[in-house]
Amino acid sequence: MTTQKHVAVYYTGGTIGMQQTSAGLVPADSLANLAAPIFQEYSHQLQCDWFISNPLIDSSAITLSNWQTWLNWIDSKATAYDGLLILHGTDTMAYSANIIALARPQLGIPVILTGAMLPLAVPNSDAPLNLRTALAAFNLSGFTQTAIAFNGQLWPAIGSSKISTERADAFANPQFGTLAQWSVTDGWFNINLPVSTPTAAPMCHNISPSARIHCFTLTPGANLDMITASLTHNPPDGVVLQSYGNGNTPTDASFLAAIRQIGQQSIPVLNISQVLQGCASAVYAQGHELRAAGVINGGKCNLETALAILTLAASNHWQKEQIENLLHQQQLV
């Protein structure tokens, strides 16, 4: 006999629950009623309690304060529930998944994010499959991490990105692949869950709403001058630099001087590859000057993971060594 699990559902907004208005799609608070028949399919396995964010938001409007509010909600529910389901807009879902995974890494229960490319109320919506995938994941044996459930796939939060605005398979994780796949007919297959290990008391890293992380993508041309000017005259709390290939940049004297200058101010610069399946590493001499200037090698970090790491670093006053340790813990370097 399967023991019924208790799951908290947090509806934050997003396309999955939107309705049409004269100005376009907006989040609506009727999602729980619309989704009730799908949740009823799992009622023998899951008891789900709904919580509605106030206000509901389009995920493209997310702020650091929203993230901290959601972390507070997770803290209030984690010990009372067997799992947490967060219904979220797709635009920034991967960013939120990374923040949650890194800010609350040892909850010991699954935290699943899902949403949809089309509202649940419209014909041919992808929302039913995404909801079924998410709900089925709570009965995966040994699954206790933060993940994105989408289009019959369960993606680990770390390394995930939104890759399409046109297709139902809108998410991917080029570095780490899927945790598992699901279908209505076959259930779970291709399961590749990490081995669970006992952990100490859950770590809790909070977010400062004032943390300022600047993200720059290198491109050929005058872009380098813009980055240099910004670093020199408007230094942030952290920098994500999306460089070429294996972490290479031009050997421009002014740019490297700006990097060294903010390094002297203990402002972390995390160097990542702009390639979807890239790895910033000490391979080419072309990147030597940048590494010598004090940047942190981001290894397999994608933009979403790198931003989450530096947001938490700035919020919690982490030193370079702490950031590097986290990269190693997450098997990113």
Domain ranges of the chain: 5-189, 213-329
User: Do the beta carbons of residue 301 and residue 309 sit within 8 Å?
Assistant: yes
CA atoms of 3 and 82, how far apart (whole Å): 11
User: Do the beta carbons of residue 96 and residue 10 sit within 8 Å?
Assistant: no
Q: What is the DSSP string of 20-48?
A: EETTEEEE-TTHHHHHHHHHHTTTTTEEE
CA atoms of 74 and 100, how far apart (whole Å): 9
CATH, domain range 213-329: 3.40.50.40
pLDDT tens string 254-264: 999 999 999 99
Topology alike, domains 5-189 and 213-329: yes
Length of the chain: 333
Whether residue 188 is predicted with pLDDT greater than 90 in this model: the reply is yes
pLDDT tens string 307-332: 999 999 999 999 999 999 999 999 99
Instruction: Give me the mean pLDDT over the 55-65 stretch.
Output: 95
The residue to which tokens 């014909």 are assigned: 123
Residue 17: both structure tokens together:
């629950």
Q: Tell me, which fold does domain 5-189 have in CATH? A: Rossmann fold (3.40.50)
* pLDDT the model gives residue 290: 82
* pLDDT the model gives residue 2: 61
